[in-house]
């Protein structure tokens, strides 16, 4: 995986590969744990309903916990907060592997909720480190696009790995491996010099209780990207429904994999291009293209076209999310960067849970299946258009490339 800019190969830059791959490994539990929990419950004789509720609980608490942990990082630094979080998550997942979850659902729910709430904020922390690691603006933009696009690998590799481990051993083993990988990835990141040396902003620069939510543009942005999450959640349910309709079980995995692959390719392409216009215009243009990318899916006639066409919004997904992160960096008040990133991540996750739930409720209406992802993407576009004035970056020029406006004062080398 290599991406180049005018300043040379990105992954050849010091610390970049370590931070990127360490974060991906550390976040593998996000893709593995829900599947492992579901298989563990059913393996123990529990119902799919119980397993599904525990999976939903894990996803919801993970989203809720990120902004809280992000604020703690902004106050206490990455090392203490992230290390404590990953240790707590690891202990909970290991404990869950030995609990009879089907027979003791209350205990299992408590462990799942605590594991989700303490999910280490590795993704938000990585975004806060890029200005430290890469002084060159073009390289920072390329790195942000690359790590955004690479996030899909978590969900392409995680669930199949759980399936293999569960089949060859037991779901308990899959849960233990998930916990171990999360601990390993966090250790790789936290032991890197940029993370160890990262320092919070001085107390005088901190904001009030609302933190980054005090900025109206960021509030609207977080609402907008929840539509992106809703599109992704609805797409997963649509893939399962389509697989059932066509009698091809493999399609339920191939469709999400196609979107993730498109997102990874989009990350490479996005980071290599210069984008005209202000940051707000870039974000709105990316959202418009993302919404348009879902429309051909409503004419899907077979498995090959479903897989091929799903890669199209995947290509455009990276542009939306990367532009959103760049906007967060430009608008977040000093001392709230990690928390602001975490709110953006949580908004996508919450939207994804809502999209999954809505699509599941409407699963008996197949004609709505492909329309729901498009509706989520359109919601994103509508909110961004309505809030375009609040999203404007002060001092932005007409031809400005969406970039980090500063190297944060708290990012001590």
pTM score, whole prediction: 0.78
| Whole-number pLDDT of residue 7 | 41
pLDDT per residue of the chain (413 residues) written in tens, 0 to 9: 444 444 457 878 889 999 999 999 999 998 888 888 888 888 888 887 788 788 878 888 988 899 999 989 988 889 999 999 999 999 999 999 999 888 888 999 999 999 999 999 998 899 889 888 988 877 888 888 888 888 778 877 887 888 888 888 988 999 999 999 999 999 999 999 999 988 876 654 556 678 888 889 999 999 999 999 999 888 877 887 777 777 777 777 788 888 888 888 888 787 677 777 788 898 999 999 999 999 988 877 688 888 888 899 998 998 899 899 889 988 888 788 889 999 998 898 888 878 877 877 776 665 666 788 999 999 999 999 999 888 887 655 433 333 334 434 333 33
Q: What is the DSSP letter of 9?
A: E
CB within 8 A of 234, min separation 6: which ones?
Answer: 355, 356, 358, 359, 369, 372, 373, 375, 376
| Whole-number pLDDT of residue 406 | 42
CA distances from 399 to 4, 195, 280, 381, 396 (A): 22, 33, 12, 22, 8
| Whole-number pLDDT of residue 397 | 46
| Whole-number pLDDT of residue 343 | 92
Tokens found for residue 190: 């936290």
Q: Which helix (H) or strand (E) holds 5?
A: strand 4-5
> Strand pairing partners for 4?
9
Interaxial angle between packed helices 137-150 and 251-271, expressed in degrees from 0 to 180 and rounded to the nearest 10: 180
Contact (CB, 8 A) for 195 and 129: yes
End-to-end CA distance of the chain: 27
| Whole-number pLDDT of residue 395 | 58
| Whole-number pLDDT of residue 288 | 96
Q: What is the DSSP letter of 277?
A: S
CATH class of 213-404: mainly alpha
The pair phi, psi for residue 333, each rounded to 5°, is -60, 150
- Number of helices (H) and strands (E), helices first, in the chain? 16, 2
CATH class of 10-199: mainly alpha
Tokens found for residue 351: 């939207």
> Strand pairing partners for 400?
none
| Whole-number pLDDT of residue 377 | 94
Domains 10-199 and 213-404 share a fold: yes
Q: How far apart are CA 105 and CA 310, in angstroms?
A: 37
Contact (CB, 8 A) for 314 and 263: yes
| Whole-number pLDDT of residue 173 | 93
Q: How far apart are CA 26 and CA 178, in angstroms?
A: 9
What ranges do the domains of the chain cover? 10-199, 213-404
| Whole-number pLDDT of residue 9 | 79
Tokens found for residue 185: 């990835």
| Whole-number pLDDT of residue 96 | 94
CB within 8 A of 137, min separation 6: which ones?
Answer: 401, 403, 404
């Amino acid at each position: 995986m290599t991406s180049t800019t005018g300043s040379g190969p990105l992954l050849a830059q010091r610390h970049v590969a370590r931070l990127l791959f360490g974060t991906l490994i550390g976040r593998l539990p996000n893709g593995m744990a829900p599947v492992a929990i579901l298989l563990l419950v059913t393996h123990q004789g529990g119902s799919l309903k119980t397993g599904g509720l525990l999976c939903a609980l894990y996803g919801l608490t993970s989203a809720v916990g990120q902004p809280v942990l992000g604020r703690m990082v902004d106050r206490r630094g990455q090392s203490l907060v992230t290390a404590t979080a990953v240790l707590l998550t690891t202990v909970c997942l290991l404990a869950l592997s030995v609990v009879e979850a089907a027979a003791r659902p209350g205990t299992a729910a408590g462990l799942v909720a605590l594991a989700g709430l303490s999910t280490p904020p590795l993704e938000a922390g990585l975004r806060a480190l890029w200005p430290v690691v890469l002084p060159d603006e073009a390289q920072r933009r390329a790195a942000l696009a690359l790590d955004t696009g690479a996030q899909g690998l978590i969900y392409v590799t995680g669930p199949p790995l759980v399936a293999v481990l569960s089949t060859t051993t037991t779901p308990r083993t899959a849960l233990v491996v998930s916990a171990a990988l999360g601990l390993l990835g966090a250790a790789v990141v936290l032991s890197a010099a940029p993370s160890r040396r990262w320092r919070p902003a001085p107390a005088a620069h901190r904001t009030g209780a609302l933190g980054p939510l005090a900025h109206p543009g960021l509030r609207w942005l977080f609402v907008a990207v929840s539509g992106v999450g809703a599109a992704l959640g609805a797409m997963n349910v649509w893939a399962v429904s389509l697989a059932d309709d066509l009698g091809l079980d493999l399609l339920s995995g191939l469709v999400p994999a196609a979107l993730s692959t498109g997102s990874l390719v989009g990350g490479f392409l996005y980071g290599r291009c210069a984008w005209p216009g202000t940051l707000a215009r870039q974000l709105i243009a990316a959202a418009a293209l993302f919404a348009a990318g879902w429309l051909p899916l409503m004419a899907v006639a077979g498995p090959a076209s479903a897989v091929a066409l799903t890669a199209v919004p995947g290509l455009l997904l990276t542009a939306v999310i990367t532009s959103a992160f760049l906007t967060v960096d430009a608008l977040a008040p000093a001392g709230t960067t990690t928390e602001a990133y975490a709110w953006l991540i949580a908004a996508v996750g919450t939207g994804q849970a809502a999209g999954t739930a809505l699509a599941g409720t409407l699963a008996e209406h197949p004609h709505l299946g492909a329309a729901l992802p498009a509706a989520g993407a359109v919601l994103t576009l509508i909110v961004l258009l309505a809030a375009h004035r609040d999203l404007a970056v002060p001092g932005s020029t007409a031809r400005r490339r969406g970039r980090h406006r500063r190297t944060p004062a708290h990012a001590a080398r």
